Amino acid sequence: MRELHMVLILIILLASSCVTAQEKKVDEALEEKAFEAYETIQLNKPNGTDPVNLGALVVWNKDKSSLALVMRVLIADDWHIYASQKGTSAFIMTELKVELPNGIQQIGEWIKPDAHYFSEDLDVYEGELLYIGYFKVTSRKVGKGKVGLYYQTCDLNQCFPPKTKMVDLDIKL
């Protein structure tokens, strides 16, 4: 399992290194700390009554001028959440939810997991997922935040109603 994590981290780091220096707004040390922090998020194993579990934490750069929000998601075996659709579908697509105090501005797009083919019209997320968002800190106020997902989880026999799970974040300078 650890080898899979390291391969995932290497792939994402290689992909992010393809960005030119002028386009890059996140320092490499923060990126490295964010990927290392992912491994430290401890989660209970999800099950058939609660198939999705998530946790998150805040990672700061050295001078606290920017931060990363790192979210780890575990989906129980044989369960999935919906990533994308072509056309219309009765299933609910997963949405990233972020609530942050004033003075924190997003830098670029979130790093999101790769989806898996499910059918001609649907892609899903399964297993273990990683989300990372980078932010610039423009105010020195202490605040609270939240990060999480709005999703519908299904297995091959049933779907649960849509649900939102959020993790409280303490954003202290």
Q: In this predicted structure, what is the pLDDT of residue 1? A: 52
Nearest CA-CA partner of 72 in 153, 2, 167:
167
Instruction: Specify the DSSP class assigned to residue 59.
Output: E
Compute the average pLDDT of residues 33-48. 95
Residue 124 token pair: 């899903």
pLDDT at 164 over 70: yes
Domain count, the chain: 1
Report the chain's terminal Cα–Cα distance, integer Å.
34
Any idea what the CATH number is for the domain that residue 81 is in? 2.60.40.1250
Compute the average pLDDT of residues 89-104. 93
- Spatial neighbors of 89 by CB under 8 A, at least 6 apart, are 82, 121, 122
- Please check whether residue 58 is in contact with residue 77, taking contact to mean a CB–CB distance below 8 angstroms: no
Domain enclosing residue 145, as ranges:
2-171
pLDDT at 150 over 60: yes
